[in-house]
Amino acid sequence: MKDSQQLTANEGKFINPLTTADGQVRATVPLSNPETLWFNTGTLCNITCENCYILSSPKNDALVYLTTAEVEDYLDQLETRQWNVREIAFTGGEPFMNPDMLDMTEAALKRGYEVLILTNAMQPMQRKRVSAGLVALNEAYPGKLTLRISLDHWDVAAHDAERGKGSFERSLIGMDFLRDNNVQMAVAGRALWHESDAAAREGYAAIFETRGYDIDAQNPGQCVLFPEMDMSAEVPEITESCWGILNKTPDSVMCASSRMVVKRKGAEKPAVLSCTLLPYDEQFEMGHTLAEAEADVHLNHPHCAKFCVLGGASCSA
């Protein structure tokens, strides 16, 4: 799935995985320092957001629920391949809609991994069985579990414009529960076009202080602010020479340290992708095994340039 505006703005670019539109060698990124293995638990979500990059909704099951057995298979592969990752991360959709979510979390915690779960902290997480299970896991594995809450903006109106009326308050109810039960939290939000990073962090800091959330708004790992993505903007292609020009190295890009497992609707088995942001672009599907996923990644998408190389973004903690 490619946005038509994006294709118009970058017409002729990002076609050949090996070379750019002007014939230069396209930059590649090796898996040099694997830190995080992501699992997309499925694209079904309890809400529909205006600008969801993965198009999650109550109806979108393009990526179906992963099972505990499938997650455990990849955890076995991690040990076989000796990736030495520190973190297992779960995203969606809304992960807590997956009936195996607690079991998948425990499977990773039992093996000593830190676990990060991206959630809106709304009704799926607030169900009694789920909330009680989270408290039990947090007590059994202290300091190992973090829930990153999608709080799109510190302003109620801006948040609800993206996620639906009343969603801000419903998420805060879930965050209050996590606070009261000493479950580690982080927040993922956005800085709006007219807003500086500093101003956005001040807004989040006020909420965290008022409600007693142990989240440092100035820490990019605890308060992750993603930029607004202008899909109609022209984006430069990244060549091998860009590393020197930008004074950056390939290991600074997200695909140097992470991979994501998904299961497509109708597929017999899960697949491994090189990027969490490109779940539908088949050129970033690397195979079914972690061994296949050790191949280099060709930076052949506008997100590679604007979001990762030039923007310096990372989805991990």
What CATH number is associated with residue 231?
3.20.20.70
Residue 304 lies in a domain: yes
Distance of CA 248 to the CA centre of its chain: 22
Structural domain for 290, as ranges: 4-309
Encoded amino acid at 246, one letter? L
| Average of per-residue pLDDT across 305-317 | 68
Taking only the tens place, the pLDDT of each residue in 25-81 is: 999 999 999 999 999 999 999 989 888 888 899 999 999 999 999 999 999 999 999
CB 129 within 8 A of CB 76: no
Average pLDDT value for the chain: 92
Predicted confidence at residue 107, as pLDDT, reads 98
Q: What is the pLDDT of residue 230?
A: 62
The strand order across the sheet containing 114-119 reads 223-227, 184-191, 145-150, 114-119, 87-91, 36-40, 258-262, 271-273, 285-287
Q: Is residue 317 domain-resident?
A: no
Give the closest residue to 185 by CA, choosing from 317, 41, 88, 36. Answer: 317
Is the pTM of the predicted complex or chain greater than 0.85? yes
Looking at the domain assignment, is residue 316 inside a domain? no
What's the pLDDT band for 228 if we cut at 50, 70, 90? Answer: low
Q: Is residue 27 part of a domain?
A: yes
- Tally the domains of the chain: 1
- For residue 56, being part of any structural domain is answered with yes
pLDDT in tens, 98-117: 999 999 999 999 999 999 99
Q: Are 15 and 307 in contact (CB under 8 A)?
A: no
- What the block records as the tokens of 21 is 């539109």
Identify whether 314 is part of a domain: no
Residue 312 has pLDDT above 70, yes or no: no
In a domain, 315, yes or no: no
